[in-house]
């Protein structure tokens, strides 16, 4: 009889049968399913299966947590079901078929912008700080800023633009690079293409709206003229150019003989891509921008201005994500010159606030998720100071619903603002400081609109997030109950097996502690940015923020499991029957073994200090995964009074991190 025969049969039935499985794979602890109809899976019944420790859905995959024995369970499951498992890449690809077109677009955008998020956050905070010291007139009856009255702050204000310009004006370089990286083509060609979009030879893209058409420089080829326009801050044009380059390179790689590919492929890919970017992609981008500007201006000036304000407030955040939002500067300037004020800028400030409030709610919802907080908190700060890109690309677009909640709050606030006739003196600071640009007679109305922009997105995000995020995470109490049931089941797994463990423990020298498997800072398992680990679904343990690059055995042991294809995890059994799961990083299974070298094999006996896995921290960081490594006791064996030690700097193979009797 197979070890998990009954559990396998139950799972296959409860998941909707063989015909509901599109693909299946596994990692070190979880079965990963792509289901044809996810609604057929009976989650509550599945979590009552003795060997199941929890379930959750993520990125189109239905994941069933089994634990250290997942490889055995997986083999029995696929054999009983009569299906073949596939690679994790194939599962991810199949999972995308469960996504609707909007989810696929957001997923692609998320993958493109994920490597850019640290720079966007840094740039957002820098520009927000510049706004405070250089754009807000706190002094001399509201006529001068801190930079106006202090040479030090004036110098700081000017110096910080070096970073702000690099992040936001030169953003197309990062976008095109990220696209080539995602698509697996030559990244340096993407960087070069991006640089041609923001070259200093070109008219700065942010100046185009204020430059008469006759003054725009051109390349004159005799038979045709091409405008020398830069695409600073542009997203759509950069993405289109990036994909043109990618597909040209793939085409020429496929059809070019290997012996001359080094010469032909880069030239035939890059040169046409640059030409297309400046003759087709760029003009299309500007036409879109002009159309949006005209629609906004005419809409605000129409008898239906309040309704249009709601539409503008709703759509402004997506416009920011396209990079076309700077076109509103021309409209603001025209409104200011005609009416000595602008009704457009207050709505922009309110949209900033609304998106920031959605991030604030996410920060509260994810207060125990350290990894998420590293993005949430700075993104919220920069958003409230008027720079929304970190919040939009780093948080709200990633999850989807915070973006929509922010858009709804922005729409309502915009209608209040325009309906009350709120005007700003001119273009000013976005976000919360935006009130300093508002004419004093409209302060109360703008404060009301601000309150709505803060409260509505916050409340909506909290309501939706408390439901939606709980579906993507583990069910706390139920998971603990399932874990207890699983522990009871595994603890009663046959008298013969227990006797074998006891006799093995008696034959060996008493084992009373496990040493650190890595050099680095030891942290509690609760602080690991992964719900399965931090909620102790797999068991108790510790985690280490690594300073070294090699995991070693914390005591004499037998290797009971390895992830041979990815190399990112392994399991050990000690003489007292205790079992330990070692998992390097969070979600590093997605790296498919890149950066990991497995140094042992299943069944191998190892001594304390024996190298188990070598890994590359830089590759893990480049893949946007935390490198924190967990050491989880999945089976206590004969150990009693187990103590997990944390909060200190540990040396691999020397510092005790787990003590027991």
Count CB neighbours of 76 within 10 A: 18
Q: Looking at the structure, do residues 654 and 512 belong to the same domain, yes or no?
A: yes
Does residue 162 sit within a domain?
A: no
Q: Please state, in angstroms and as integers, the Cα–Cα distance from residue 439 to each residue in 405, 413, 422, 453, 454, following that order.
A: 28, 17, 8, 19, 21
Q: Cα(165)–Cα(560) distance, rounded to whole angstroms?
A: 53
Contacts of 536 (CB under 8 A, 6+ apart): 480, 483, 525
pLDDT of residue 619: 87
Q: Cα(623)–Cα(500) distance, rounded to whole angstroms?
A: 43
Q: Cα(424)–Cα(165) distance, rounded to whole angstroms?
A: 26
Could you tell me the two tokens for 580?
A: 């330990």
Do the Cβ atoms of 300 and 344 come closer than 8 Å? yes
pLDDT of residue 336: 55
Q: Looking at the structure, do residues 356 and 447 belong to the same domain, yes or no?
A: yes
Does residue 165 sit within a domain?
A: no
pLDDT of residue 116: 76
Contacts of 582 (CB under 8 A, 6+ apart): 517, 551, 569, 570, 571, 572, 612, 613, 629, 630, 631
Could you tell me the two tokens for 600?
A: 């042992």
Which residues make beta-bridge pairs with 35? 21
Q: Looking at the structure, do residues 196 and 294 belong to the same domain, yes or no?
A: yes
The SS3 assignment for 211 reads coil
Does residue 485 sit within a domain?
A: no
Contacts of 407 (CB under 8 A, 6+ apart): 313, 314, 315, 317, 318, 354
Could you tell me the two tokens for 637?
A: 């064996």
**Residues of the chain predicted below pLDDT 50:** 470-489, 491-496, 498-508
Please name the helix (run of DSSP H) or strand (run of DSSP E) that holds residue 247, with its range, or none: helix 236-255
Q: Looking at the structure, do residues 257 and 237 belong to the same domain, yes or no?
A: yes
Q: Looking at the structure, do residues 521 and 553 belong to the same domain, yes or no?
A: yes
Q: Please state, in angstroms and as integers, the Cα–Cα distance from residue 300 to each residue in 271, 290, 343, 423, following that order.
A: 43, 16, 8, 13
Query: Pick from 269, 298, 327: which residue ends a domain?
Result: 298
Backbone angles phi, psi at 414, to 5 degrees: -65, -40
Which residues make beta-bridge pairs with 656? 515
Contacts of 487 (CB under 8 A, 6+ apart): none
Do the Cβ atoms of 559 and 572 come closer than 8 Å? yes
Q: What's the DSSP call for residue 540?
A: E
Q: What's the DSSP call for residue 514?
A: E
The SS3 assignment for 511 reads coil
Closest CA to 557 of 492, 602, 506: 602
Query: Pick from 52, 77, 98: which residue ends a domain?
Result: 98
Q: Looking at the structure, do residues 413 and 548 belong to the same domain, yes or no?
A: no
pLDDT of residue 325: 64
b/e string for 214-253 if b means 16 or more Cβ within 10 A? eeeeeeeeeeeeebebbbbbbbbbbbbbbbbbbebbeebe
Q: What's the DSSP call for residue 229?
A: B
Model pLDDT for residues 410-440, shown as the tens digit of each residue? 999 999 998 998 888 766 667 888 787 788 7
Catalytic residue selected from 27, 383, 405, 570: 27
Which residues make beta-bridge pairs with 632? 541, 581
Does residue 158 sit within a domain?
A: no
Count CB neighbours of 18 within 10 A: 12
Q: Cα(224)–Cα(615) distance, rounded to whole angstroms?
A: 55
Q: Looking at the structure, do residues 319 and 452 belong to the same domain, yes or no?
A: yes
Q: Looking at the structure, do residues 213 and 88 belong to the same domain, yes or no?
A: no
Q: Cα(172)–Cα(358) distance, rounded to whole angstroms?
A: 27
Find the CATH number of the domain harbouring 49: 3.30.1360.60
pLDDT of residue 440: 76
Q: Looking at the structure, do residues 108 and 220 belong to the same domain, yes or no?
A: no
Find the CATH number of the domain harbouring 621: 2.70.70.10
Residue 566 CA, chain-centre distance (Å), reads 22
Q: Looking at the structure, do residues 277 and 306 belong to the same domain, yes or no?
A: no
Q: Is the pTM of this model over 0.75?
A: no
Q: Looking at the structure, do residues 262 and 367 belong to the same domain, yes or no?
A: no
Could you tell me the two tokens for 439?
A: 């004419």
Q: Cα(297)–Cα(292) distance, rounded to whole angstroms?
A: 9
Q: Rounded to 10 degrees, what is the CA torsion of 279, 285, 290, 295?
A: 150
Q: Cα(457)–Cα(640) distance, rounded to whole angstroms?
A: 50
Q: Looking at the structure, do residues 272 and 203 belong to the same domain, yes or no?
A: yes
Does residue 508 sit within a domain?
A: yes
Does residue 433 sit within a domain?
A: yes
Query: Pick from 298, 331, 366: which residue ends a domain?
Result: 298
Does residue 109 sit within a domain?
A: yes
Residue 36 CA, chain-centre distance (Å), reads 26
Q: Is the dihedral of CA 243, 248, 251, 252 positive or negative?
A: negative
Half-sphere exposure of 76 (CA within 13 A, CB side): 18
Closest CA to 57 of 73, 72, 43: 43
Please name the helix (run of DSSP H) or strand (run of DSSP E) that holds residue 558, with its range, or none: strand 557-562
- Whether 380 is a known active-site residue: answer no
Closest CA to 17 of 63, 77, 73, 64: 77
Does residue 607 sit within a domain?
A: yes
In the chain, the number of structural domains is 4
pLDDT of residue 156: 95
Q: What residues make up the domain containing 9?
A: 5-98
Which residues make beta-bridge pairs with 645? none
pLDDT of residue 652: 92
Do the Cβ atoms of 565 and 559 come closer than 8 Å? no
Closest CA to 241 of 192, 287, 206: 192
Q: Cα(372)–Cα(529) distance, rounded to whole angstroms?
A: 8
């Amino acid at each position: 009889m197979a070890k998990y025969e009954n559990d396998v049969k139950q799972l296959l039935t409860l998941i909707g049968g063989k015909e509901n499985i599109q693909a299946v794979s596994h990692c070190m602890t979880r079965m990963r399913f792509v289901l044809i109809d996810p609604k057929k899976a009976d989650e509550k019944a599945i979590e009552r299966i003795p060997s199941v420790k929890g379930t959750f859905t993520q990125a189109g995959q239905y994941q069933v947590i089994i634990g250290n024995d997942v490889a055995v369970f997986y083999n029995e499951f696929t054999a009983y079901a009569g299906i073949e498992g596939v690679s994790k890449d194939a599962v991810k690809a199949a999972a995308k078929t469960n996504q609707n077109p909007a989810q696929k677009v957001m997923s692609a955008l998320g993958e493109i912008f994920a490597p850019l998020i640290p720079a966007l956050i840094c740039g957002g905070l820098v520009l927000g700080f510049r706004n405070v010291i250089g754009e807000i007139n706190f002094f001399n009856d509201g006529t001068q800023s801190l930079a106006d009255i202090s040479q030090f702050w004036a110098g700081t204000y000017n110096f910080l633009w070096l970073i702000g310009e690099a992040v936001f004006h030169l953003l197309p370089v990062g976008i095109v690079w990220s696209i080539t990286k995602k698509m697996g083509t030559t990244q340096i060609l993407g960087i070069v293409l991006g640089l041609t979009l923001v070259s200093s030879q070109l008219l700065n893209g942010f100046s185009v709206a204020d430059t008469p058409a006759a003054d725009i420089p051109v390349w004159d080829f005799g038979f045709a003229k091409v405008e020398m326009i830069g695409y600073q801050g542009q997203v759509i044009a950069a993405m289109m150019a990036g994909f043109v380059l990618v597909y040209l390179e793939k085409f020429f790689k496929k059809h070019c003989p290997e012996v001359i590919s080094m010469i032909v492929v880069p030239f035939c890919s890059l040169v046409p891509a640059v030409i297309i970017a400046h003759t087709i992609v760029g003009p299309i981008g500007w036409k879109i921008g002009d159309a949006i500007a005209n629609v906004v201006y005419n809409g605000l000036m129409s008898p239906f201005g309040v309704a249009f304000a709601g539409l503008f407030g709703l759509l402004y955040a997506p416009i920011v994500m396209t990079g076309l939002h700077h076109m509103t500067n021309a409209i603001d300037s025209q409104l200011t010159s005609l009416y000595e004020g602008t009704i457009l800028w207050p709505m922009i400030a309110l949209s900033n606030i609304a998106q920031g409030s959605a991030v604030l709610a996410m920060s509260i919802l994810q207060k125990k998720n350290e990894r998420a907080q590293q993005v949430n908190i700075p993104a919220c700060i920069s958003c409230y100071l008027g720079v929304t890109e970190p919040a939009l690309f780093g948080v709200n677009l990633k999850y989807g619903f915070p973006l929509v909640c922010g858009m709804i709050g922005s729409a309502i606030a915009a209608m209040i603002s325009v309906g009350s006739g709120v005007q700003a003196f001119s273009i000013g600071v976005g976000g919360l400081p935006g009130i300093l640009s508002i004419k004093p007679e409209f302060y109360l109305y703008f404060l009301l609109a601000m309150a709505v922009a803060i409260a509505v997105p916050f409340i909506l995000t909290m309501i939706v997030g408390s439901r939606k995020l709980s579906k993507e995470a583990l069910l706390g109490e139920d998971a603990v109950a399932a874990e207890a049931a699983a522990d009871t089941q595994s603890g009663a797994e046959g008298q013969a097996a227990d006797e074998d463990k006891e006799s093995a423990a008696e034959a060996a020298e008493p084992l009373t502690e496990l040493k650190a498997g890595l050099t680095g800072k030891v942290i509690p398992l609760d602080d690991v940015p992964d719900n399965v680990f931090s909620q102790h679904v797999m068991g108790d343990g510790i985690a280490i923020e690594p300073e070294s690059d090699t995991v070693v055995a914390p005591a004499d042991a037998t290797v009971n499991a390895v992830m041979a294809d990815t190399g990112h995890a392994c399991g050990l059994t000690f003489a007292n029957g205790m079992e330990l799961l070692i998992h390097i990083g969070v979600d590093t299974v997605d790296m498919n073994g890149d950066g990991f070298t497995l140094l042992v094999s299943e069944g191998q006996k190892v001594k304390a200090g024996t190298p188990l896995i070598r890994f590359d921290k830089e590759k893990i960081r480049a893949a946007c995964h935390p490198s924190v490594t967990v050491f989880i006791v999945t089976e206590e064996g004969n150990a009693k009074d187990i103590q997990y030690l944390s909060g200190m700097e540990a040396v691999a193979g020397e510092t005790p991190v787990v003590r027991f009797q």
